[in-house]
Amino acid sequence: MNEVDKIAFIETQNGQILSTRSKGKTKYYIPGGKRELGETDEQTLVREIAEELDVKIKPDSIEYVGTFKAQSDGAKKGVLVKMTCYKAKFEGDLKPQSEIEEIKWLNYKDLDIISEVDKKIFRFLKEKGDLE
């Protein structure tokens, strides 16, 4: 079984979670992406979020949230995405960059417009009381 290894940035405010939609896509995804050769989780998080959202993650504030697996959207059956999630403080104003077309704050009612792995993350955050 194949697995896609991704790092995700969890930012919740007022019971909502920061999500993004890439150009040409209809679903929203928690921001982040795949690591480059030799990168640590933290380096991937800092790079991906700077590329996608134009903000600077403060490396000393990074905290592990959890790791979640589910069928990868758009991939053949049996290909899983493994999403290792972190929260962190950041500097700057969130702006869509690179392949990101839209930034949107979602809540638990938005399960129908997100990926399978994000649904698991949303459920986890709802149980913790971080998501309305």
- Tell me the pLDDT of the chain (132 aa) as tens digits: 599 999 999 999 999 999 999 999 999 999 999 999 999 999 999 999 999 999 999 999 999 999 999 998 877 888 999 999 999 999 999 999 999 999 999 999 999 999 999 999 999 999 999 999
Buried b (16+ CB within 10 A) or exposed e, 74-89: eeeeeebbebbbbbbe
Per-residue tokens: 1: 């079984």
Helices (H), the chain: 41-53, 116-128
User: Do the strands 80-87 and 63-71 form a parallel or antiparallel pair, or are they unpaired?
Assistant: antiparallel
Total-model pTM: 0.94
- Cα-based distances in Å from 40 to 10, 29, 33, 45, 53: 17, 21, 12, 9, 20
* Whole-angstrom distance, CA of residue 129 vs CA of residue 61: 21
